[in-house]
Chains A and B, each alone.
Chain A
Amino acid sequence: MEQPRIGVYICECGINISATVDVNAVAEIASKLPGVVVARVYKYMCSEPGQKMIAEDIRNLGLNRVVVASCTPRMHELTFQRVLEAAGLNPYYFEMANIREHVSWVTKDRKEATEKAKRLVQAAVMRVAFHQPLEPRREPVTKAALVVGGGIAGIQAALSIADAGYPVYLVEREPSIGGHMAQLDKTFPTLDCST
C-alpha cells in the first residue's frame, strides 16, 4: 500500500461547530496523527474557498487521502467527493467525521464536545488510510415509465413523460381514469370545471 498522505479539514460551520468544539485543538491533535500531512480549520469548508483549499492541498502537498470533519455526510459527502475527483483523486479516498449533528448540536459541555470531536476525527483518519479506490458501475436504462394511479397526479406525470417522448404505461385500478378529480364539481379558487 502506498504511504498515506492525509489532509484533515475541520469546519467551523459559522459558529454551529466552533461555539461548542475547540476546533483549533482538534486540528492540532489531527496534525500529529500518523499519515497526516496537513490539518486546517476553516469557517465554511463547503464554501467555494473551502473546497479550493482542499483541491490546492491535494495538488501542492501530494495528498492521497482526505478527511473532512463537519456536518452529516448526508449533507455534503458528495460535495467533497467531487472535490477529490476534480483534483484527480479517487472519490472513495475520502472520509467524513460528523462533528455537528453528532457533537456540537447535541453536546453542551465544550470540553466533552471537543474530546468527542477529537476521537471522531482520529477514527476517520485511521479508517481513511485503509480506503481503496472504487469505480461506480454504469447500467443502461429502459426508457419507458410506469405510472400507478390515474388521478390528477398520475395523469399529469404521465402526460409530461409522454410529451417528453417516452412511452408510459398508466395503470388505474378503477374502470376509468380521473380519480377523485372526476367526482368534483367546480374547483377553488377559480371555480373552473374539474374534468
Chain B
Amino acid sequence: MNPFPPAAPERRTLRQALACATIAGLASILLLALSGWFLTGAAIAGASGAAAVVAFNYLIPSAAIRGLAILRTGGRYGERLLSHQAALTAMADLRGRLFGKLAAQDSRTAPDLASGDASARLIGDIEALEDLVVRRPGRPASLAAACFAVALVALAGWKAALALALLLAALPPLLTLAARRLTTRPAAEAADALGALRTAFVDYAAARPEIIAYGLAPRVADSMAALSRPLDRARAALARGDGVVAGLLAGYGTLAAALVFALAEGAAPVRALALLAAAASVEAMAAFARTALRQASVEQGMARLATLSQLPEELNPAPGGTAAGLPITLGGRVLDPGARIAITGVSGTGKTRLIEALAGLRAPVHPIDLGGTPVERCPADALRQQCALAPQDAMLIAGSIADNLRIARPGITEAEMHAALRTACLDTTVAGMPAGLETPIAEAGGTLSGGERKRLSLARALLARRPWLLLDEPSEGLDAATEAALVARLRDWLDTTGTGLLLVSHRHAPLALATARIDIAALARR
C-alpha cells in the first residue's frame, strides 16, 4: 500500500523502534500484573502470621516493580525517538526522490502542481505518510504484548488463557471493521465538502469588488455557512467514529478482565495477576485503533503519491556546451539564427502562448517549427538548448539574487552575473542592496518591485547563452529613461553575442530592437 517503502537503514531503525515498543508494552503489562500478584501475596502472607511474612520473598518483586517502571519509560522514549528518526529520514529521502521525479517531467505534459491547493495536498500527503511510518512499530509491538499477556494468563489455567486469546484475536478485525464502517464515508464526504467549500470561497473572492460595492458580505457569509454544513456534519461524524472506537476499547478491556477473572483457576495471587494482565493487554491494542481510524484519510493520499511515483522520467540531463543555432519557422517565414523579430497583435490573441511554446513550457496553438520540426514534436531538451526565456511573470525562485541567476547554467562566475545585471539595468539596484548578490528575494515579492523582478528574470535569460532570446514584455513597469537605457544595452548585447530575438511587447520602445514584425493574427491557429 505504501508506494515508497523505507530504505534499508530506516528499516533497521524501525526494527530497533519495534524492539523498544515491545519492551515498553511487555513492561507495562508486567508492571500491573506483578503489582497485583505482589499485593495479593503480601496480604495472604501478612494474614498468616510472622513465619509466613519471613518466608514471603518481597525483595525481588518490589525491586522488579520499580525496575519495570523505568524499563517502560525507557522503552517508550526509545520507540518514539527511533520511529520518528526513521520517519524523518525516510521522508527526507522521499521528498528528494519525488522532486527528482517531478523535475524530470516534460513541462508540456507534467502534472500541474503550481496551484496552492495541489501543492498543499502534496505536503499533506507526505505528512500522512510520515505519520504512517511513525506508527508502523505500534502494531507488531501490540501483538507481542498480546501474546505475552496470554502467556501470563496461562499461569491461571488454559481456560482463561484461551478466552483472552480469542478476545484479543477478535479485537483488531473488530476495530478495523468499526473504523471502516464509521469513518470511510465521512472521511470522503469531508474531503469533498472541503473542496467544494474552498472552490465556492475562491469564486466568491473573485467577486470581492462587487461584494464590497453593494455591501453583500453578510449574504455571502450566509451562503458560505449553508455550504459548510455538510463539512461540519461529516467532521462531527468522524468525531463520533473516534468516540465509538475509544468506547469499544474501554468496554472491551473491562469485559476481558472480568471474563479472565471468572475463568482463572489457582491461588488468589495468580488470579489477580491474570486479571490485571488481561486489562492491560487490551489497552496495549490501542495502536490498532489509531491506525484503523486514520486508514480512510491516509489511503487517498497514498494513491495520489503512488500516481506521482509511477510517472515516467522523460527529461534527459542537460548536456554541457552551447548548441549551434537552428532556424525558426513561423507562419511560413524562416527566421535564421540571429534574426530579431517582434510578435505583434492585440491582447488575448496568444502571443505569450507562442513564446512559451517555443520555450517548451506549453503546447503551441500556432504553427511553429524549430530546425524544420514542428515544436510539439521537438523533445523538450532540444527546445531548451535553443531558447532562453524571460517570461511575462518573472518566475523567480525563493532564494537570493545569485540563486536565481545560477539557475541559468552551471558554473556562472560573479563577474558574469554583474555583467548580465548591468545589461538588464539592475546593477546599481543590486549594488545598493545590503548583501549584494546574496540578498534574498522573498517568495511573493518583498525586496524587489515588479519591474525589478522582471529585469532579474531577463538577466537570468541572458546568462543562459542560448542561440535565441525570448522576451515577454521586458520593460513593463519602467520609466521612460530606464526603458531607453535597457533597450540600448540589450541592443549592444545582441550585437556582441549575435543572439536571435523573439519579442512580445505592448510598449513601443523595445519594439525598436526588432528588425521585423510578425502579426499573430496572420498565423493560422491549429
Asked whether A and B interact, the reply is: no
Binding site for B on A (CB under 8 A): none
Q: Taking beta carbons and an 8 Å cutoff, which residues of B are in contact with A?
A: none
